[in-house]
């Protein structure tokens, strides 16, 4: 896999926001934390959001993972179907302002169903996550849940990011079209496979079916291939350890107008640890966006 082109600075007046795709295990944590300074200083990201539902050995998020991501400069965290896999995270979900659970769980489920992050110049970004319903555990309607959450945002929250954590590409496209003009971006997570369909919808919503994974790519969705194969061929329960090799970060950036909340550019990143080090050492500004 060759690295994708990295973009130049955002156009005047636009804010760049980055969503890091599902962080898987220690390798994912390592590259995500290492990438943040580059995202901030060279990619000029004003807000860095990470989906961290697989950070804890491949499933869930521990308190120490949350702290580490925040200490390294991640601004906000979304989760997915593994939200409660590590129960200790419930306290963080209930007390911290910069982490949300999926919005379409029962209202009694621990954690917040939306968050607002304030940037410089009092610019506010509203963030919502929702789960899909195809090949996943039953949950409430994600379309109605996202509607409800978008309605709850104060009118001053013009930039709105929706992380739709779902399996079916059709559902994700439908959500993106449904939100066109009402969300600044709808970016998909959960499949761990990045899709090459990043685009701007006519109403100004930046869209990508799935941002992909941040973790070991010599694997099956981040887990050791041998273990997944053994479990599949033998039908026996086999622990799915997190793989180690070919660590990459998949992330998506979009540039948004803080006045209108509409996006004007979107692009994908697919960075290995080697290419990240090279980019961090580069003195020159990044190449122009192709």
Residue 81 binding Fe ion, by CB under 5 A:
yes
**Least distance from Fe ion to the Cβ atom of residue 24, Å:** 7
Residue 224 binding Fe ion, by CB under 5 A:
no
**Least distance from Fe ion to the Cβ atom of residue 124, Å:** 27
Catalytic site residue from 82, 165, 190, 192: 82
**Least distance from Fe ion to the Cβ atom of residue 242, Å:** 12
Pairing label, strands 76-78, 47-51: parallel
Shorter beta-carbon distance to Fe ion: residue 190 or 223: 190
Shorter beta-carbon distance to Fe ion: residue 18 or 79: 79
Whole-angstrom distance, CA of residue 186 vs CA of residue 180: 9
Site stretch for Fe ion (CB under 5 A), options 182-190, 201-209, 252-260, 280-288: 182-190
Residue 80 binding Fe ion, by CB under 5 A:
yes
**Least distance from Fe ion to the Cβ atom of residue 222, Å:** 8
DSSP per-residue letters across 204-247 = S-EEES---EEEESSSBTTB-HHHHHHHHHH-S-----B--SSE
Is 192 a known active-site residue? Answer: no
Given a contact cutoff of 8 angstroms between Cβ atoms, the answer to whether 105 and 140 are in contact is yes
Residue 111 binding Fe ion, by CB under 5 A:
no
Q: Under rule CB under 5 A, which residues in 54-73 are in contact with Fe ion?
A: 54
Q: What would the 3-class secondary structure string for 47-61 be?
A: EEEEECCECCCCCCC
Range 183-205 burial, b when 16+ CB lie within 10 A, else e: bbbbbbbbbbebbeebebbeebb
Site stretch for Fe ion (CB under 5 A), options 17-25, 68-76, 253-261, 271-279: 17-25
Instruction: Give me 175's structure tokens.
Output: 């959500």
Q: Which stretch of DSSP H or E encloses residue 69?
A: helix 63-71
Residue 190 binding Fe ion, by CB under 5 A:
yes
**With contacts defined by CB under 5 A, how many residues of the chain interact with Fe ion?**
6
Which 8-state DSSP code applies to residue 183?
A: B
Instruction: Give me 161's structure tokens.
Output: 């990011």
Contact pick of 22, 65, 75, 255 for Fe ion (by CB under 5 A): 22
Question: For 196, phi and psi rounded to 5 degrees?
Answer: -95, 45
Point out the residues that are catalytic: 82
- Residue ranges that bind Fe ion, judged by CB under 5 A: 22, 53-54, 80-81, 190
């Amino acid at each position: 896999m060759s690295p994708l082109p990295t973009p130049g600075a955002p156009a005047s007046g636009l804010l760049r926001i980055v969503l890091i795709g599902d962080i898987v295990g220690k390798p994912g944590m390592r590259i995500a934390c290492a990438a943040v300074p580059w995202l901030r200083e060279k990619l000029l990201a004003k807000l860095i959001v990470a989906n961290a539902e697989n950070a804890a050995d491949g499933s869930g998020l521990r308190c120490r993972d949350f702290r580490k991501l925040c200490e390294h400069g991640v601004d906000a965290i979304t989760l997915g179907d593994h939200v409660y896999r590590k129960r200790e995270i419930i306290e963080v979900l209930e007390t911290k302002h910069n982490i949300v659970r999926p919005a379409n769980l029962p209202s009694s489920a621990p954690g917040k169903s939306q968050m607002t992050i304030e940037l410089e110049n009092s610019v506010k970004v509203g963030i919502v996550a929702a789960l899909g319903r195809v090949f996943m555990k039953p949950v409430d309607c994600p379309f109605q849940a996202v509607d409800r959450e978008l309605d709850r945002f104060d009118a001053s929250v013009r930039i709105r990011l929706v992380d739709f954590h779902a399996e079916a590409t059709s559902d994700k496209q439908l959500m993106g079209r449904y939100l066109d003009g009402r969300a600044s971006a709808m970016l998909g997570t959960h499949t761990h496979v990045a899709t090459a369909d990043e685009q701007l919808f006519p109403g100004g919503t930046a869209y990508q079916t799935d941002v992909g994974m941040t973790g070991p790519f010599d694997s099956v969705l981040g887990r050791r291939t041998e273990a997944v194969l053994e479990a599949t061929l033998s039908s026996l329960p086999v622990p799915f350890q997190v793989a180690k090799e070919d660590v990459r970060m998949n992330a998506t950036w979009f540039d948004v107008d803080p006045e209108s909340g509409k996006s004007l550019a979107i692009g994908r990143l697919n960075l290995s640890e080697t290419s990240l080090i090279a980019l961090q050492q580069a003195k020159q500004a990044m190449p122009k966006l192709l």
